[in-house]
Amino acid sequence: MSEEVKNPITEKIESTKGGHFYKEIMKDFRIKESLHGCLNCGTCVANCPAAAFYDYSPREVCQMMIEGDEETIEEYMKSKIWNCAQCFSCKYRCPKENSAADIVMTMREIAVREGLAAEALAGYTRIAKLVLTRGNQLAPDMLSPDAFPDWGPRMIELSSKKMEMREELFKGFPGMNVVDRAWAAEDFTIYEMQRIWEESGALEKVGTVFPFLVDIVQDDMEDKKEEMEAKIEAKKAKLAAAGK
């Protein structure tokens, strides 16, 4: 008997549809509202700010989910979906009322959960660290002029005296007179925030993408634990005394 000759494309679709990632995405409640077939008209791509500059196509996202090819989905979760700016232009223009942006949002959550996002998000490590340790994500120091050529030559001038400018702008707001973060939150506020992340499991989730950041945050918490927990107890006592 001669060997069976298979069409490589057909085989690919048949053999992988309905894989694990596909099922995980499809069972999310948002997908039902976000995918109603696709006319392949390209309206989403034409309106998409990300598609104009990066390797990303909202139409491909919809088509991929209709086809359900596991390999393609995995590939997308590792890279392309992270190019979406989440502006939702596709949703408000699609003649079928699909929302590639919602599909991407769902896929991103699953990618994080399934450990597929680390490489795509590596560039965000600094931002994540600042959020987890200082409570805000962007600092004037991070906006170096050479990284933002589109902001023009004025950017170079402004960045050379950012501290002076902030002092002038935020007179009487000492928390704002910093350039290594957007504003200085109080230690107690940051500690409370970190506790919430720990208790809610958010920190653990962050660990699937930035494992070493979890240690940094835990160290950060450990340093002020004694002082902060005492403050929390005092606060509790005060509330109890007030009869609340």
Partner 1 sequence: MKTVLVIGGGVTGLKASHELAEMGYNVSLVEKQDYLGGQVAKHKYYKLAPDMRLVSEVLDPVIKNVESNSNIKVHKHSTITALSGNAPEFKVKIKNSKGESEETFGAIVVATGFEHFDPTVKQEYGYSRFKDVVTNAEVEELLNPNGPTKGELKRPSDGKIPKKVAIFQCVGSRDKQVGNPYCCRVGCVVSTKQAIEIKEKYPDTEVYVYYMDMRMFGRGWEELYGKAMEEYEVIFTRGRGAEVTLKNQQLSLRAEETIMDRPIQHSVDMIILAAGQAPGDGTIEAAKILGIKQNEYGYLAPKDDFLSPNESSKAGIFIAGADKGPLDVENCIVEGAAVAAKVASSLK
Query: Quick one: 59 or 181, whose CB is closer to partner 1?
Result: 59
SS3 readout for 95-160: CCCCCHHHHHHHHHHHHHHCCCCHHHHHHHHHHHHHHHHHCCCCCHHHCCHHHCHHHCCHHHHHHH
Residue 102 CB, nearest distance to partner 1 (Å)? 16
Nearest approach, Cβ of residue 33 and partner 1 (Å) = 13
**For partner 1, what does the binding mask look like between residues 55 and 74, x meaning CB under 8 A?**
--x-xx--------------
By CB under 8 A, how many residues form the interface with partner 1?
21
Burial state string for 165-184 with b = 16 or more CB within 10 A and e = fewer than 16: ebeeeeeeeeeeebeebbeb
Indicate the DSSP class of residue 175.
G
Binding to partner 1 (CB under 8 A) within 74-93 occurs at 92-93
Q: Which is nearer to partner 1, 48 or 184 (CB)?
A: 48
Joined tokens for residue 58: 């909202």
Q: Which is nearer to partner 1, 100 or 117 (CB)?
A: 100
Binding mask 26-55 for partner 1 (x = CB under 8 A): -------------xxxxxxxxxx--xx---
User: Does residue 97 touch partner 1 according to CB under 8 A?
Assistant: yes
Which one, 47 or 133, has the nearer CB to partner 1? 47
Task: Name the residue among 108, 106, 111, 113 with its Cα closest to residue 29.
Answer: 106
Residue 2's contacts (CB-CB under 8 Å, 6 or more residues apart) are none
* List of residues contacting partner 1 (CB under 8 A): 39-48, 51-52, 57, 59-60, 92-97
